[in-house]
């Protein structure tokens, strides 16, 4: 469990090592006839914070779901922390242990208390004693600022609280990478901030993150790279300042004009 | 408090401090009370009407007063199948009891078939394999759309009577035989010392429960996991087997032997009973399959995705995440299905199986004790139904109350 660096001053000066965390080369995926991902090449370094945006149906969710094999890619290679994703279940299990994921609809287990949601995977997958798992869980609940909700069931929490529990649940497995699939899209506006605050704090602690999101403020604050996808391709990627102020392709310009002028 | 515009001038809005008088037909409390009084009065009136009707008719017909002493009288008729020994001299009470046992045993096995076949078909219905899911769907649609009685007649008259005559019996290793007269199985005969064997089974089960609890506790305390399922399966099989060998065959077998017309000895399962069990089992399984399917579908796909993303493997995902949630949806309608199995077994009479309903019918005919017989029937089915729903409701509470 990580107890380091509570508050780094800002996201921009965070160190990124040159160690490769995730490597995608020539990844292709089809749903039947529909070509969702077209020759995706992407390298994510340890400590990088990447924001992926793009119109709906552009394949951005599918892309990150391929990284922990919730979706299977049909061509190309995906290597996570030196482990290649193949049909080998052992490798898939290993990768999933290192990759945490946060979903749009939280997907908390409604039949378990918040605390049990957090300890389930550590107890079964990491074989941690229950007491120790609960201590770790409480640590992360404090970090997402809802330790007092530990005994409640997910249905009793607000959307923002549920999403923070979901983030804490992933963190309990001490992942090396965190994937966020539109984590704030299902939230009421006043709850978005509390979730983004947790994500910003996480980014500052040095976590490698890939976020599919349209929160452009968040992208500017913490991302070191913004990727724009359309129709299954990576159209453009750049540092946030360059990306927002100086988009290169017309499609990016059009997309940005649509989401920024509302 | 300001008066609303257009309100009558006479001060229709009363001072909130003084209690308002509400006309009784507008007062929800008084209304509720009146409704209850009316319902109870109507119910009592109806019961009084029935009772009075009965007493008048009873007197007019000159029938003897109600009593259950007739159960001690000699029945004078026998059942084609019974779990307890019966003779023509057996008292009616004993014959009725035999009929009740017949109902229970048929319902028990039909319920088991329904549960397991239903589970299998329900899961098959959700299979990604086109052929498997469509076979399951066809099965469900056909069964659900044919009256149960017709299905029973089909199994009895259409399938089981097409079996060969005794001399051409289908045999399995020359110990099990199947023909038009029924299914003939070897009958276990308990020898001396068999008690130890049963004790061994009980001890093995007790130990298995103990191991499961201990393993769970140890996992929670230390994180170490224990292969509970494998160890317990081995224990439950091996310990009794070991005792069995030590005791030198504590159970002897009486094999069915070919007689002049049919097989003698052994255990006979009548075709009527087979048809009833198979018919009700297969029919109920179709409904159970739909319940199981609904239960599994009700757990959103996101749940298993989240579980997988946390690194839980598929078997754990099913056991720890999907099933606990699916069961909450599955159990309540399953209660109705088990009740249906028991109640539908009353169709047994149509294919000549002596269940309680059929036995009561004959007893009533023989003794003229219609009211007593119907009361016995009602008490029996009511008791069984209440027992089943109590057990299932307790189970349901344990599975369901976990949320909120």
Kindly state the DSSP code that residue B21 receives in the 8-state scheme.
P
Angle at A241 between CA A237 and CA A245, to 5 degrees: 90
Q: Can you read off the two tokens belonging to residue A119? A: 């300890």
Q: What average pLDDT does the segment B31-43 reach?
A: 93
Percent of chain B at pLDDT exceeding 70: 92
- In angstroms and rounded to an integer, the radius of gyration of the C-alpha atoms of chain B is 30
What pLDDT, on a 0 to 100 scale, did the predictor assign at position B79?
Answer: 81
Mean pLDDT of chain B: 84
pLDDT for residue A244 is more than 50: yes
Q: Can you read off the two tokens belonging to residue B103? A: 């109902």
* Cβ-based neighbours of B368, under 8 Å, separated by 6 or more: B63
Kindly state the DSSP code that residue B9 receives in the 8-state scheme.
T
Report the distance separating Cα B258 and Cα B264, nearest Å: 6
Residue B284: half-sphere exposure toward Cβ, Cα within 13 Å: 29
**Chain A residues close to B217, C-beta within 8 Å:** none
Q: Can you read off the two tokens belonging to residue B178? A: 């199947």
Query: How many Cβ atoms sit within 10 Å of the Cβ of residue B362?
Result: 20
What pLDDT, on a 0 to 100 scale, did the predictor assign at position A262?
Answer: 54
> What part of A 78-107 touches B (C-beta under 8 Å)?
89, 93, 96-97, 99-101, 103, 105, 107
A75 touches chain B (CB under 8 A): no
Angle at B375 between CA B371 and CA B380, to 5 degrees: 155
Report the distance separating Cα A30 and Cα A33, nearest Å: 6
Comparing CA positions, the residue from B305, B237, B315, B212 lying closest to residue A105 is: B305
Comparing CA positions, the residue from B103, B120, B274 lying closest to residue B184 is: B274
Q: What sign has the CA pseudo-torsion B358, B362, B368, B369?
A: negative
Comparing CA positions, the residue from B139, B108, B142 lying closest to residue B123 is: B139
Percent of chain B at pLDDT exceeding 90: 33
pLDDT for residue B261 is more than 70: no
Residue A247, burial from CB neighbour count under 10 angstroms (0-12, 13-18, 19+): buried
Q: Can you read off the two tokens belonging to residue A249? A: 């392709």
Comparing CA positions, the residue from B113, B158, B105 lying closest to residue B267 is: B105
Comparing CA positions, the residue from A72, A193, A111 lying closest to residue B324 is: A111
Comparing CA positions, the residue from A66, A69, A70, A79 lying closest to residue A28 is: A66
Segment among A53-62, B256-265, B372-381 with least mean pLDDT: B256-265
DSSP string, A107-174: ---TTS-HHHHHHHHHHHTS---HHHHHHHHHHHHHHTT-GGGTTS-GGGS-HHHHHHHHHHHHHTT-
Q: Given an 8 Å threshold on Cβ–Cβ distance, is B310 in contact with A173? A: yes
Which ipTM value was assigned to this complex?
Answer: 0.90
Place of tokens 């602690």: A205
In a 3-state reduction of DSSP, which class is residue B269?
A: strand
Q: Are A191 and A183 in contact (CB under 8 A)?
A: no
- Best of A111, A113, A120, A180 to substitute, by most chain B Cβ atoms within 10 angstroms, is A111
Of the partner residues A111, A127, A155, the one whose CB lies closest to the CB of residue B224: A127
Q: What is the pLDDT of residues A152-196, one digit of tens each?
A: 999 899 999 999 999 999 999 999 999 999 999 989 888 999 999
In a 3-state reduction of DSSP, which class is residue B52?
A: helix
**Chain B residues close to A89, C-beta within 8 Å:** 313
Comparing CA positions, the residue from A228, A230, A158 lying closest to residue A194 is: A158
pLDDT for residue B16 is more than 80: no
pTM exceeds cut of 0.80: no
């Amino acid at each position: 469990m990580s107890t380091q660096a509570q508050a780094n001053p800002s996201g921009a000066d965070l160190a990124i090592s040159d160690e490769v965390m995730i490597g995608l080369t020539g990844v292709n995926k089809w749903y039947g006839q529909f070509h969702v991902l077209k020759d995706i090449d992407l390298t994510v370094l340890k400590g990088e914070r990447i924001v992926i945006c793009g119109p709906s149906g552009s394949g951005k969710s599918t892309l990150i779901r391929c990284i922990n094999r919730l979706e299977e890619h049909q061509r190309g290679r995906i290597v996570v922390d030196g482990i290649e994703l193949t049909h080998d279940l052992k490798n898939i299990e290993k990768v999933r242990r290192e990759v945490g994921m946060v979903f749009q609809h939280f997907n908390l287990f409604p039949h378990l208390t918040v605390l049990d949601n957090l300890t389930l995977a550590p107890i079964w997958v990491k074989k941690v004693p229950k007491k120790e798992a609960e201590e770790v869980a409480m640590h992360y609940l404090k970090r997402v600022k809802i330790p007092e909700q530990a005994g409640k069931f997910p249905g009793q929490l607000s959307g923002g609280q549920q999403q923070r529990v979901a983030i804490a649940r992933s963190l309990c497995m001490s992942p090396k990478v965190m994937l966020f699939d539109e984590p704030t899209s299902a939230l009421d506006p006043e709850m978005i901030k509390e979730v983004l605050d947790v994500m910003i704090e996480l980014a500052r602690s040095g976590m490698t993150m890939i976020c599919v999101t349209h929160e452009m403020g968040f992208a500017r604050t913490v991302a070191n790279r913004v990727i724009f996808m359309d129709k299954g391709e990576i159209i453009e990627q750049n540092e946030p300042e360059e990306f927002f102020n100086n988009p290169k392709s017309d499609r990016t310009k059009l997309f940005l004009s649509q989401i920024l002028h509302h | 408090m300001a008066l609303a515009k257009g309100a009558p001038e006479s001060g229709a809005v009363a001072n909130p401090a003084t209690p308002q008088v509400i006309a009784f037909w507008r007062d929800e409390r008084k209304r509720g009370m009146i409704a209850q009084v009316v319902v109870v009065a109507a119910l009592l009136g109806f019961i009084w009407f029935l009772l009075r009707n009965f007493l008048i008719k009873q007197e007019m017909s000159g029938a003897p007063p109600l009593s259950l002493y007739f159960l001690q009288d000699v029945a004078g008729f026998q059942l084609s199948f019974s779990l307890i020994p019966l003779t023509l001299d057996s008292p009616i009470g004993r014959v009725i009891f035999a009929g009740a046992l017949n109902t229970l045993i048929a319902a028990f096995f039909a319920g088991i078939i329904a549960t397991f076949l239903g589970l299998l078909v329900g899961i098959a219905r959700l299979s990604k394999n086109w052929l498997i899911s469509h076979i399951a769907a066809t099965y469900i649609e056909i069964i659900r759309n044919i009256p149960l009685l017709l299905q029973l007649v089909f199994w009895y008259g259409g399938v089981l009577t097409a079996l060969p005559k005794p001399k051409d019996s289908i045999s399995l290793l020359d110990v099990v035989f199947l023909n038009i007269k029924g299914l003939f199985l070897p009958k276990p005969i308990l020898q001396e010392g068999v008690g130890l064997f049963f004790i061994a089974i009980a001890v093995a089960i007790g130990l298995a429960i103990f191991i499961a609890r201990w393993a769970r506790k140890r996992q929670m305390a230390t994180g170490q996991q224990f292969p509970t399922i494998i160890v317990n399966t081995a224990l439950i099989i091996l310990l009794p087997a070991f005792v069995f060998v030590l005791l030198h065959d504590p159970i002897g077998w009486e094999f069915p032997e070919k007689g002049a017309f049919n097989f003698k000895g052994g255990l006979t399962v009548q075709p009527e009973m087979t048809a009833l069990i198979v018919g009700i089992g297969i029919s109920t399984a179709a409904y159970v399959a739909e319940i199981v399917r609904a239960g599994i579908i009700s757990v959103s796909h996101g749940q298993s995705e989240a579980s997988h993303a946390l690194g839980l493997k598929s078997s754990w995902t099913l056991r720890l995440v999907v099933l606990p949630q699916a069961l909450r949806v599955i159990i309540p309608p399953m209660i109705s299905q088990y009740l249906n199995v028991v109640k539908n077994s009353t169709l047994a009479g149509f294919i000549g199986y002596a269940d309680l309903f059929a036995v009561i019918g004959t007893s009533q005919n023989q003794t003229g004790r219609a009211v007593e017989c119907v009361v016995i029937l009602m008490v029996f089915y009511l008791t069984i139904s209440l027992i089943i729903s109590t057990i299932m409701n307790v189970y349901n509470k344990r599975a369901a109350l976990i949320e909120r």
